[in-house]
Structure 1
Amino acid sequence: MANQKAKGRKRPSMFEVANLAGVSHQTVSRVINHSPDVSDATRAKVLAAIDKLDYRPSNSARALASQRSRTIGLIAGGVNYFGPVSSITSIESIARQHGLFMSVMMVDETNCTQSDFEALCENFLQQSVDAFIFLTPTDAMFEAACKAQVSQPRVVVTSTHGALRADEALSSASETSRLAFTGIDQWGAVQEVARLLAMRGHRTALYMAGPSQWRDATTRLDSWRQAARSYRIRTAVVHSRTWQSREAYALMNHLIDERGMTGTALPSAVVTANDNQAVGAARALHEHGLRIPQDISLVGFDDIPTVDNMYPPLTTVRPRFADLGAATMRQVLALLDQGQPARFAVSRHGVGLIEADIVMRSSLGHASRLL
């Protein structure tokens, strides 16, 4: 009976909150919208009134008053993988902290066309979103995001290298004054991996690249090639069509068997473009009786859950996804004139970059021989 009564009860208004707290309805609005222009004592009175009346602000009413929906449209690819999912989680968490709603649509990152992308944007425009965030792991998605015919502010989360660099994309982008790019400093992280290998005496290494249409894969491969030259590491590159461990396992098996038949020495280290590949490579090495790191060192990228419990635990790159989410939302808010833009220690090709950390574990050792 009490529940039925509650259901039939009229929803309390902002004016009722203001009357109970003894303040104006404008002051209640400032408290709801987290304005700093309210004293602590007044804020406490308003919050107590809100709690007593069980008041819930109407998002539609706030949108009418401010001419903003407080909704951000996020279009994301790569949601089957750790990196993109971690980025989405971080961005959504920061949005909630700022009282913003995140509306998310997933897309096939490989087969996404410009018309597909425009259709998704149109769906969001019908929701009156204030801004867009585009998570674009592949070249197809990145180009579509840059060319999207939207006037709202947009932040594109991407890698620095690919078929089209971020600075090159500006020439074809619409509304460039309301466009920003953020990402992880993958280039710098791979450079640091190569430096650590060289410091430990590694002069030969196999690099296992990711699928070529992924901008992460291109960025990491281009950086590796340059770093290998700089540190005089003789390197072979094998190309994987996927990020999956099973393909990495097959490629590693083939390489070991091929070199065994020809009598060619194996490299002293294997560097993979992601941790899934490292898992597959490790299995192949173990099955051939090769010890990690005594015979071959192994390094991955992403620091996915469980790689710290591999045998041996995997040395890898840990992107700062929480910092990426915070920086991306700061860029959105700045484009909406609600704060200062994020400051980046590193920027390449027009992309503001968040650092990544090398997590040292026992899979990386000293080279056991000079080859």
Structure 2
Amino acid sequence: MFEVARLAGVSHQTVSRVINNSPDVSDATRAKVEKAIAQLGYRRSNSARALASQRSRTVGLIACSIDYYGPISTLASIETGVRHHDMFLSVVIVPEEEFIRQGFDSAARSLNEQDVDALVFIAPTDATLLAALRMETVVPRVIITSTHGAITVEEAKALSGAKSPVVFLGMDQWTATHEVVQMLYDLGHRDTLYLNGPSNWRDATTRRLAWEHYCGKLGMATRALDVDSWEAKDAYRVVTTLLDEKRSAGEALPTAIVAANDNQAAAAMRALHEHGLRIPQDVSVVGFDDIPSADNLYPPLTTVHPRFRQVGVLATECLLALLGEAEAPKFDRTEHGTGLVTAELVRRDSVGLASR
């Protein structure tokens, strides 16, 4: 930096201001400094900055599987937000088969060795939620998870004994599911089918519990099919079997099928088409996630649009607040100790009036 200052004929403080994009530098001076930087091939040393500031300007993120639309959208948003604030994001992906404490601990050790300033966890299961809380660290944590599971967020926090600051963040899936139930009820649907997601995922548990709760309040009959997977092929197999059984027995079909995600909903639509059933005239279909292809299915899929990118934005703002660099953000709602982002019901042509 001193060499750049000598070549440009300015103080090293002025060079620092240019490097940090301070507005308190004239255009002419900025041009001289940038020319000197280019001539000398100067680049900032993050190690030197860390020694001077006691901050690495690095955030560690542990994501448990990014095979699905939600986690990868959230991760991308966090990376953009962190980079916008002149920080770095160091990412460790824990495969689904390693959703155990050992896998988390190994990832956490590697990030601790980088002296990260804070940690973000995308924790979709009870096991990963507990592992994120039990991790030995003194840096602040932001944990992105769902409100319901085998244990509540409050119970998990009490069990963990976590000592460093922790913020919980997630999507308001409970309210969104209520809107789905109310929409179908208002359209005359009284006999419905629900496709469960994987039982170890907190998102699947939250959606299922909300579905059963509001169906019960409205007196809407429902039956749950255990797909126990987010994959389309598994939902297709389960729905095809049910349709074959109903046809063989001469039994009436439910007037609506609600799936725990859009992959399952697309599979249900395929099975209905193959059995000569019309959507929505015979059976309405609803999904969850609003994946990019949802509006191009036949017919376009009614689904819930979770604002995954907004979750990433709020996660970044929570990090900055925990590090004392910003005010704490405001959430749409706070329930079960978790700051929530609103999800939007998007109605398309796959839903109509009940056929019977």
Do Structure 1 and Structure 2 share a fold, with TM-score over 0.5?
A: yes
Q: Name the structure 2 match of 1:20.
A: 8
For 2:278 and 2:9, how far apart are their aligned partners in 1?
70
Query: Partners in 1 of 2:30 and 2:323 — Cα distance?
Result: 27
Give secondary structure in 2 for the equivalent of 1:172: helix
Contact 2:235 2:264 in 1 (8 A): yes
Comparing 253-262 with 266-275, which one deviates more in the overlay?
Answer: 253-262
Deviation at 1:17, TM superposition (A): 4.5
SS in 1 for 2:66: coil
Q: CA deviation at 1:14?
A: 5.7
Counterpart contact for 2:279–2:299, Cα < 8 Å = yes
Q: State the one-letter code of the partner of 1:217.
A: A
Distance 1:95 1:312 in 2: 39
Q: 1:208 deviation in Å?
A: 0.3
Q: 1:121: Cα distance to partner?
A: 0.8
Shift of the alpha carbon at 1:51?
A: 2.9
Within a 5 Å distance, the mapping from 1:313-332 to structure 2 comes to 313-332=300-319
CA drift at 1:355: 0.9
3-state SS, counterpart of residue 132 of structure 2: helix
Contact 2:139 2:164 in 1 (8 A): no
1:214-363 equivalent positions in 2, closer than 5 A: 214-363=201-350
The separation in 2 between residues aligned to 1:256 and 1:166, in whole angstroms, is: 38
- Offset at 1:174? 4.0
| Aligned twin of 1:185 | 172
Tell me how far 1:19 sits from its aligned partner: 7.2
Match of 1:51 in 2: 34
Quote the residue 1:170 is aligned against: 157
- Where does residue 154 of structure 1 map in the other structure? 141
1:325/1:33 CA distance change after superposition, 3 Å: farther
Query: Contact 1:184/1:356 (CA < 8 Å) preserved in 2?
Result: yes
Q: Provide the C-alpha distance between the structure 2 equivalents of 1:215 and 1:266, rounded to a whole number of angstroms.
A: 29
Q: Does 1:195 align with 2:195?
A: no
One-letter amino acid matched to 1:274: N
Q: 1:92 to 1:233 in 2, by over 3 A?
A: same
Secondary structure in 1 aligned to 2:329?
coil
Equivalent position amino acid for 2:4 in 1? E
What is the alpha-carbon distance in structure 1 between the residues aligned to residue 332 and residue 18 of structure 2? 34
Aligned residues: 352
1:29-178 maps to which residues of 2 (within 5 A)? 29=16, 32-33=19-20, 40-42=23-25, 44=27, 47-52=30-35, 53-54=37-38, 55-178=42-165
TM-score by length of 1: 0.90
Residue 198 of structure 1 and its aligned partner are, at CA, apart by: 1.2
Cα displacement (A) at 1:125: 1.0
- Do the aligned partners of 1:161 and 1:219 also contact (CA within 8 Å) in 2? yes
Deviation at 1:358, TM superposition (A): 1.3
- Residue 310 of structure 1 aligns with an amino acid whose one-letter code is L
Which amino acid is 1:248 matched to? Answer: A
| Structure 1 position 263, deviation (Å) | 2.6
Letter paired with 1:278: A
- Superposition deviation, residue 200 in structure 1: 1.2
Give the conservation status (yes or no) of the 8 Å contact 2:138–2:163: no
| In structure 2, distance between residues paired with 1:225 and 1:20 | 70
Q: Is the 8 A contact 2:174 2:207 kept in 1?
A: yes
CA distance, structure 2, for counterparts of residue 218 and residue 179 of structure 1? 23
TM-score calculated relative to the size of structure 2: 0.93
Contact map agreement 1:110 1:138 (CA 8 A) in 2: no
Say if 2:138 and 2:164, in contact at 8 Å, map to a contact too: no
Q: How well do the aligned residues superpose, as a CA RMSD in angstroms?
A: 1.9
2:134, 2:162 within 8 Å by CA — same for their partners in 1? Answer: no
CA distance in 2: counterparts of 1:161 and 1:120, whole angstroms: 25
Following superposition, the deviation at residue 113 of structure 1 comes to 2.1
Equivalent residues of 1:307, 1:314 under 8 A apart: yes
**Quick one: distance in 2 between partners of 1:261 and 1:202?**
23
Q: Hey, what's the Cα distance between the residues in 2 that align with 1:91 and 1:359?
A: 25
Task: Name the aligned partner's letter for residue 47 of structure 2.
Answer: S
Q: Match of 2:66, as an amino acid?
A: V
Alpha carbons 2:5, 2:12 under 8 Å: kept: no
Structure 1 gap ranges (5+): 1-12
Give 1:24 shift: 5.0
Contact 1:77 1:137 in 2 (8 A): yes
Q: Deviations over 1:27-78 (max 9, x none)?
A: 54455446xxx5x352645643453223432211111111111111111012
The one-letter code matched in structure 2 to 1:69 is S
Verify the 8 A CA contact 1:72 1:103 in the aligned structure 2.
yes
Deviation at 1:241, TM superposition (A): 2.1
CA contact (8 A) 1:139 1:164 kept: yes
Change (3 A) 1:226 1:47: farther
User: How far did residue 21 of structure 1 move?
Assistant: 7.3
State the 1:89 CA deviation. 0.8
For residues 5-36 of structure 1, the C-alpha deviation after alignment (integer angstroms, 9 at most, x for no partner) is xxxxxxxx2662487374551x54455446xx
